[in-house]
Amino acid sequence: MNQVQPHSLFTDFDISLFKAGKHFRLYEKLGAHLIEVNGVKGVYFAVWAPSARSVSVVGDFNYWIQGEHQLHVRWDSSGIWEGFIPGVDKGTKYKYKIQSNNNGIITEKADPFALYCQKPPETASVIWDLEYKWKDKKWMDTRKDKNGLDKPFSVYEVHLGSWKRNLEQDRSLTYLELAEDLVNYVKETGFTHVEFMPIMEYPYDPSWGYQLVGYFAPTSRFGKPQDFMFLVDKLHQAGIGVILDWVPSHFPDDAHGLGFFDGSNLYEHPDRRKGYHPDWKSLVFNYGRNEVRSFLISNALFWLDHYHADGLRVDAVASMLYLDYSRKEGEWEPNIFGGRENLDTISFLKDFNEAVYSNYDGVQTIAEESTSFPMVSRPTSVGGLGFGMKWMMGWMHDTLQYFKRESIYRKYHQNDLTFSMTYAFSENFMLPLSHDEVVYGKKSILGRMTGDEWQQFANLRLLYGYMFTHPGTNLLFMGAEFGQRAEWKFDGSLDWHLLQYGYHEGTRKCISDLNELYKTNPALFEKQFSPEGFEWINYSDHQNAVLSYIRKGNEDKENLIVVCNFTPVVRENYRIGLPSKGKLTEIFNSDKVEYSGSGVTNKKAIKIDKEPWNGRDFSAALTLPPLGVSVFKVSLK
């Protein structure tokens, strides 16, 4: 085996961009690249380690002996070590052995830019390539028309390891198996997108993937990188978009990871008040360091580029934005203006969003941000952070709190439901019922519902009907769509056997029909982020616990009338005010018998009378199902 030969993929311009925090394609330079130099095949290695005295590549090819293959440090003070090693092949395992200038500390690290990693608990990086023949051109050419803010976004949130298991072998499904089972199920149930909880390599299963080590490698738990590409490809061919959870908020301090990488605080902030997360006992990126910004934004673009992701849901944004997040007095330092906002984070998030939207058409970034930080989903050009959407955490908490209440008491708490409309259009909100709501003793979504079994499922269908007709987009965690009874377990499987029972299959059928309702009625998505797309009919009938409202599209003829009855009492001849004469035709009812409901529906078209009601000139008398949602189409004839 020959020694390391001088070679570089970097230009002076690359280095200047890297130092300025503006190099967003670092994955084309740093890492391990299978190349040919002067007719000789091998691997070019490059790693950023500015505090290193020496850097060696150790691996299968040199029996993991330090010093056998030492990289060369660049002359330009970039801190990049590089070199070409002939004869190294795809599939070779390797790490970087780094001796630091700081007291000679030696670290042994996985490659931050590795494309593939050993299956945990093994920790080496693996030489790999990204060769794959995509077959999703139709999707990629048209996704701009499917991922717009005026298009349906009904998202199925999935944890790959526990969606379904191979029971005979007691293991999770592989990427290739999921490309058949998951794709068929999502298509059948009608969701427009899937959102994968983090699939980047992570060492610790109970972290659910939220403590990453291999930022550029899909986890090897379920197969090879090309296998994951195949899964994305199959979803796209089925007309389903793919959103990836992305975690730039923190990372673990595992010995082979990014922490203390070259014997210094390279990726993490050196001040523990900014560089350590007390809740998760993890390290926080130094968002003010240009090279770290290049690393993170390059990583975001990498998944959009090489894995055809249609969106990135950014985890724990609130923890990034506030210097005092989960910190007591004296444990944080104000910014230069005396405030609690992390100015470096704000600048970084704006750069990230600008890079994503300027480089890729038809993608979205979504912030999991739980506070009232302003303009999260507004363009950077007007002072916003630049995200496409933001999770509506307030709606989630208020709504679940309401549904926990016995129906007899709901008339005293109508504000829990109506309050969301006071701020619904301050951001582009996605309504989430996510994985965080079905763990740690919170119960499943079904388990939050009150009443006997019939009422619990009726409440669940009512919740979903209200959710799908509320302004904004939707996200539902796996299992909630069929009424999973137990809390989610990351090391188990969803209880698929429940679908043999009427209540559960009925709930899944209800979700399928709600997805169809959402996708085929422009009134539910064309103006889903605009106050022009919503109008109350009556929000003050707390005595009967009934809400009624209009959802509007670009054309009046597309308008829908929605009436929600939050009690188990059937309400005959319930009158609502309407803006014009004509007829109402019921197009959805959550109490259908096929959903295991009681079958109280409005079977015939309902004439709109010239009788003033709710401050309007016209009105109609409806039959409201118990614990049900009714949706009507208006015919002006």
Beta bridge partners of 38: none
Find out whether 319 and 250 touch, Cβ atoms under 8 Å. Answer: yes
Active-site residue, 315 included:
yes
Catalytic residue among 227, 315, 369, 437, which? 315
Comparing C-alpha atoms, which of 381, 401, 386, 108 is closest to residue 257?
A: 108
- Cα–Cα distance between 236 and 181 in angstroms, integer? 15
Provide the pairing of β-strand 311-314 with 364-367. parallel
Residue in this structure with the two tokens 């199959």, named with its chain if needed: 234
Find out whether 343 and 335 touch, Cβ atoms under 8 Å. Answer: yes
- Cα–Cα distance between 292 and 355 in angstroms, integer? 15
Find out whether 58 and 70 touch, Cβ atoms under 8 Å. Answer: no
Which run of H or E residues covers position 609? none
Burial zone of 286 (CB within 10 Å; 0-12 exposed, 13-18 middle, 19+ buried):
buried
Comparing C-alpha atoms, which of 267, 271, 313, 273 is closest to residue 290?
A: 267
Residue in this structure with the two tokens 């070779």, named with its chain if needed: 92
- Cα–Cα distance between 198 and 249 in angstroms, integer? 13
Catalytic residue among 201, 227, 344, 368, which? 368
Find out whether 342 and 323 touch, Cβ atoms under 8 Å. Answer: yes
SS3 11: coil
Active-site residue, 291 included:
no
- DSSP string computed for 371-438: S--TTTTS-GGGTS---SEEE-HHHHHHHHHHHTS-GGGGGG-THHHHGGGGTTTTTTEEEEE-GGGG
In Å, what is the CA distance from 607 to each residue of 99, 152, 560, 621? 82, 30, 15, 8
Provide the pairing of β-strand 40-48 with 31-37. antiparallel
Contacts with 169 (C-beta within 8 Å, 6 or more apart), sequence order: none
Find out whether 548 and 576 touch, Cβ atoms under 8 Å. Answer: yes
- DSSP string computed for 445-470: HHHH--SSHHHHHHHHHHHHHHHHHS
**Torsion (CA) 82, 87, 93, 94 in degrees, nearest 10:** -20
- Cα–Cα distance between 615 and 539 in angstroms, integer? 13
- DSSP string computed for 288-345: T-HHHHHHHHHHHHHHHHHS--SEEEETTHHHHHBTTTT--TTSS---TTS-SB-HHH
- Per-residue buried b or exposed e for 251-264, using 16+ beta carbons within 10 Å of the residue's own CB: bbebebbbbbbbbb
The DSSP output letter for 178 is: H
Catalytic positions, written as ranges? 315, 368
